[in-house]
Structure 1
Amino acid sequence: MAAPAPDPLILLVSGEQLDVMVEQFHRYDREYDVRSATSAAEATALLEQARAAGQPVALVATESRLPDTDVLHALHAWRTLVPTARRLVLIPVERLAEESVALRPYLRKGKFDTYHVLPQARRDEEFHHAVTDLLNDWGATVAINEVDTVRVIAPDARPMALAVRDLLDRTGMPYRVYTPDSPQGQEALAKVDGEPSYPLVHLTAAVWGEAPVLSPRSTRELAAAFYGRPSDIDCGEVVDLAVVGGGPAGLAAAVYGASEGLSTVVVESEVVGGQAGTSSMIRNYLGFPRGISGQRLGQRARVQAIRFGARFFTGWPVVELRPAQDGAPHVLVTEGGDVRARAVVVASGVAYRRLGVAPLEDLVGAGVNYGAAMTAAREMEDRDVFVVGGGNSAGQAAVHLARFARSVTILVRREDLSSTMSQYLIDEITWNPRITVRPCTEIVDGGPDETGQLGWLQLCDVRTRAQERVPAGGLFLLIGAAPHCDWLGESVLRDDHGFVLTGRDVPRERWIDGRPPESLATSVPGVFAAGDIRAGSMKRVAAASGEGASAVSLVHAHLERLRAATTA
């Protein structure tokens, strides 16, 4: 019988405050291996031992002053040694004013994850909230789940298996991966009739009854198995608000709509969280000073909306909008059933543009990835990885990938990142020794290695057209927004790029009584647009959330007009 995996390490480092730190971290002893060191040198030795033994390191918490070296030098060395570990600096209260100012620029540059005042008494729950935030972040992106509500059975890291794992990661579903010859794999195979088609997905939790084994052909099929079909809605029911898309804009519309008493349904084609849900860490979202992953933000918003009564149907793309006519409601058509609604908020977001290099399109899922999939990032350990894109999503992806990959190279066609990326991310990238930026560069070719995975890229300087072939173990493409909303039909007007027109951008001939639609209203009364799908939007998470919330007030006004027309 295999020995149990070692508990993740929490390492406490301090010369003068170690007793306080040990007392505070005593509550984590049951589930973590909490050890202490009185110097940076001793801490480095313990981390080297843990790495050699294969013990995961979840957190290094260090006092802001160490007896044998500057704390920033120590943090840099520890990040190189255990790059996936989270790093917390603790400052005694009497030194807080001085040292927090001195450390702040290095926090912004990503030298460590956060700092906090050293607790002065027991039950400092604000301190422990910071600690559990870091451990939660580590557990969501690095750790192997202790439980397996879902088991993924696959002989190798084939594209569909990685796609399933990414969906489970983004939905927060606890899972583990097993090979077909493992005991867990054999248990699942015993439930399969005929030749298995991998990956198999074994639903082991009691909530699924007799533990069915699925062989999904797409992630949408698996999501639908988890969350149900739109036809579960009574076909005679007309809801007040139907939201298309479960990204930040759609989630905000669902929370505000449901909380204000509107019967609300959200139809999401893939995974709640949208494109933002693939972000490993959003650091500039209001109210989260230590940052929050897109996955956790999406999950929390979904739970919040459900508590107010909103219903979610995931895995069902809308294929057609039939606008309201002659007093009938709007109809959203999906392959799983129709949703009838008095008002619709279109918040379906955008997808990343395709690279357009045919040999690399053939390797999607085999080292080539659109978006910043956290699952694929874990597969990049000790590889040389490339990220294409100059926006915040690309920067966040590069920082996250640097925790695993040997090197990360950001490729951009521009001279630098200053016009497209937030400064805090540029600073963090500049100070990360594993990340380099290669400007004025595009990819013109690429191909597999002997295993069929991505093996090389052909890079081209856009100024001189000089080319270079480089080895590559992974490619992550985050290259701008492409709307996909042909399902809206011709009645909802869009601009030349396919983004939905709202407010004064709607052509004058579609105005009613000479007045333009409201700011988030489309050319169809009762249909609104919010977030990245809307022409002129800011393409930021906070802006999308604000638009989704704002759209609900317009929905109320529309419903009031419908009631007035009915009683007139």
Structure 2
Amino acid sequence: MPNPAIVLVSDKYLDVLEEQFWRYGRDYDIHSASNAQQALETTEQIRAAGGQVALYVADSRLADAHVLKAFHNWRAIVPTARRLVTAHMDHFREDSVALRPGLAKGKFDAFLLMPRGVRDEEFHTAVTEVLSDWGSTVAAPEVETVRIISPVLDGHTMAIRDFMYRMGMPVRTFSPESSEGQEVLAQLDGQEPKYPIVRALGSEPVCAPSVHDVAVAIYGAPSDIDVDQVVDLVIVGGGPAGLAAAVYGASEGLSTVVVEAEAIGGQAGTSSMIRNYLGFPRGISGMRLAQRARSQAIRFGTRFFTGWPVEGVSVGDRVHTLKTGGGELRARAVVIATGVSYRKLRVEAIDSLVGRGVFYGAAMTAAREMEDQDVFVVGGGNSAGQAAVHLSRFARSVTILIRRPSLAATMSDYLIKELEYNPMVTVRSCSEVVDGGGEGRLEWIELKDTTTGELSRHQTGGLFLLLGAEPLCDWVPSEVIKDERGFVLTGRDVPKETWINGVPPGNLATTVPGIFAVGDIRAGSMKRVAAASGEGSSVVPLVHSWIESLNEAEVPSS
């Protein structure tokens, strides 16, 4: 099979682009075209030969078509390809103003100044970021970190595969009969195989009936920590809020541990592309944002334990004890950052097919299986919109189902505009899923119009449910007061009768001294990635103050 292709398109500056892109020639097939029509013909030839286009790099001024019209035509043939516009310095400013609305609507992925010399690493950083996004979401990994052996692609197998993706590990699934499968099975030393079997990071294969088993096999259990050690800070939850707290806590000298029940990144880690996060003009996937933050926290000394939900907390005057299935953790301060989960649809026929065409969350690794399928996404928030954009690169059609009349009240404007432009995506308002079924996997759903009560049946290959927030804090001790919806109260929101000497807790502190709450789990939080990150960093001074008060209490008076 040929290498993925990069197609360069320019009339006046094709030689400049060819000179700049020679460095990619080992891993990509570089094709050149002097106009939009020639690029279209080149694309058809690549497809006919069984290849795929990873990236189009087009001059902002083409000889025979407007660049956005050209992208539209190429996208119809290769919807998964990324699209980059580069402008010569002579008309960079003028064209950036003219093309900016198209960039905001997702008509292309990046707008760059055309290089004028060698080693323009700012330009190439952007190119590699775009190619990296394509490689992690479209192409099958060339070298996998994880191998999953399973005779069927069932719900358990897909859950493990999605977990590995969210942890930033390239993963491939093989049948037991394949040569790769036989190689892994041979390492079981006669042990009866129980599928799925996972071999990660060159370690011994593990019979892994659940994500939990895989996580423990790779990352260890909390009991690996010296039981006599009391850490300064335990953070429960590895989403943006928890990761920010880990980075700032560990960087300021606190011994810090993060316990995450699922994959690092939380709900945000499933987002295919977050475009409105500060400092990432080309956007960043939730998985990459989470992995960068995790690496940053590890650099400062944070320890992570994945796959272990906290089951309870024993509140103490100076030390709180967290209980997990793998052991106990003792900490002077605890930050609750467990975030929220997607609400269940609570339609039995649908929930019985989870993992077999029905998915809660974006289920990034399932997108490739949606090729040529009609897909439905339930939800009106940013996560649902991001999932729809990503799925549209593979599916024949994507329909967003919402109960409201429009998306305006729940989704960011930039994302609404991107969906409006995308010809593969439609929004069906005032609709809800009431039934579904199929032979062994989802094949159809039944929708109800919430205004007329009319029912309609639709064939589908995938249903992605992103239904809003339910708090993840059943384990939180009763001393920590929550609101009627189950979100943790902090600061002035806690009942006045719990204030000490008429003074409320700190703005991120709960009713229990030394226990704090940040991010989506906190009542009144904004439910945005940037806001959660801000709270995670802001809680660290409060933790410091609490620990300092404990230390001062230990010093005997003179």
Q: TM-score range by the shorter chain?
A: over 0.9
**Structure 1 counterpart of 2:542, one-letter code:** L
Match of 1:336? 326
Residue 155 of structure 1 and its aligned partner are, at CA, apart by 2.0
**Is the counterpart of residue 360 in structure 1 residue 350 in structure 2?**
yes
Please say which of residues 155-164 and 12-21 is displaced more in the overlay. 155-164
Match of 2:482? 494
2:475 partner SS: helix
**Structure 2 counterpart of 1:248, one-letter code:** P
Do the aligned partners of 1:151 and 1:204 also contact (CA within 8 Å) in 2? Answer: no
**Is the counterpart of residue 422 in structure 1 residue 446 in structure 2?**
no
Do the aligned partners of 1:148 and 1:204 also contact (CA within 8 Å) in 2? Answer: no
Match of 2:509? 521
1:379 partner SS: helix
Structure 1 segments, 4+ long, off by >4 Å, are none
Please say which of residues 188-197 and 438-447 is displaced more in the overlay. 188-197
Q: CA RMSD in A?
A: 1.0
Identify the match of residue 248 of structure 2 among 256, 280, 285.
256
Identify the match of residue 198 of structure 1 among 190, 195, 198.
195
**Is the counterpart of residue 565 in structure 1 residue 557 in structure 2?**
no
Matching of residues 176-255 of structure 1 within 5 Å: 176-192=172-188, 193-203=190-200, 205=202, 208=203, 212-255=204-247
**Using the alignment, how far apart are the partners of 2:152 and 2:29 within structure 1?**
32
2:443 partner SS: strand
**Is the counterpart of residue 155 in structure 1 residue 151 in structure 2?**
yes
Match of 2:534? 546
Match of 1:348? 338
Please say which of residues 61-70 and 275-284 is displaced more in the overlay. 61-70
CA deviations on 1:449-501 (whole Å, 9 max, x unpaired) are x3x11111110110010110111110000111001211112111100000000
Match of 1:140? 136
**Structure 2 counterpart of 1:390, one-letter code:** G
Do the aligned partners of 1:413 and 1:441 also contact (CA within 8 Å) in 2? Answer: yes
CA deviations on 1:62-115 (whole Å, 9 max, x unpaired) are 111111111111100111111111100011111011110000001111111111
Do the aligned partners of 1:410 and 1:435 also contact (CA within 8 Å) in 2? Answer: yes
Residue 194 of structure 1 and its aligned partner are, at CA, apart by 4.7
**Structure 2 counterpart of 1:334, one-letter code:** T
CA deviations on 1:129-157 (whole Å, 9 max, x unpaired) are 10011011111111111112321112232
**Using the alignment, how far apart are the partners of 1:56 and 1:248 within structure 2?**
34
**Structure 2 counterpart of 1:85, one-letter code:** A
Match of 1:453? 441
Residue 175 of structure 1 and its aligned partner are, at CA, apart by 2.4
Do the aligned partners of 2:200 and 2:218 also contact (CA within 8 Å) in 1? Answer: no
Please say which of residues 96-105 and 505-514 is displaced more in the overlay. 505-514
**Structure 2 counterpart of 1:143, one-letter code:** A
**Is the counterpart of residue 530 in structure 1 residue 518 in structure 2?**
yes
**Structure 1 counterpart of 2:300, one-letter code:** F
**Using the alignment, how far apart are the partners of 2:194 and 2:37 within structure 1?**
52
Identify the match of residue 82 of structure 1 among 75, 78, 81.
78
Unaligned runs of 5+ residues in structure 2 are none
**Using the alignment, how far apart are the partners of 1:304 and 1:188 within structure 2?**
33
CA deviations on 1:288-336 (whole Å, 9 max, x unpaired) are 00000000000000000000011100111000011113x4x10111111
Do the aligned partners of 2:195 and 2:209 also contact (CA within 8 Å) in 1? Answer: no
**Using the alignment, how far apart are the partners of 2:200 and 2:340 within structure 1?**
31
Please say which of residues 48-57 and 33-42 is displaced more in the overlay. 48-57
Identify the match of residue 264 of structure 2 among 272, 282, 298.
272
**Using the alignment, how far apart are the partners of 2:39 and 2:153 within structure 1?**
35
Match of 2:430? 440
**Using the alignment, how far apart are the partners of 1:497 and 1:51 within structure 2?**
52
What is the percent sequence identity of the aligned residues?
Answer: 62
Unaligned runs of 5+ residues in structure 1 are none
**Using the alignment, how far apart are the partners of 1:262 and 1:437 within structure 2?**
48
TM normalised by structure 2 equals: 0.98
1:486 partner SS: coil
2:308 partner SS: coil
Do the aligned partners of 1:531 and 1:547 also contact (CA within 8 Å) in 2? Answer: yes
**Using the alignment, how far apart are the partners of 1:486 and 1:126 within structure 2?**
47
Residue 204 of structure 1 and its aligned partner are, at CA, apart by 5.8
Do the aligned partners of 2:315 and 2:477 also contact (CA within 8 Å) in 1? Answer: no
Do the aligned partners of 2:206 and 2:217 also contact (CA within 8 Å) in 1? Answer: no
Match of 1:55? 51
**Is the counterpart of residue 476 in structure 1 residue 473 in structure 2?**
no
Please say which of residues 238-247 and 155-164 is displaced more in the overlay. 155-164
CA deviations on 1:344-385 (whole Å, 9 max, x unpaired) are 100000100000111000000000000001101111111000
TM normalised by structure 1 equals: 0.96
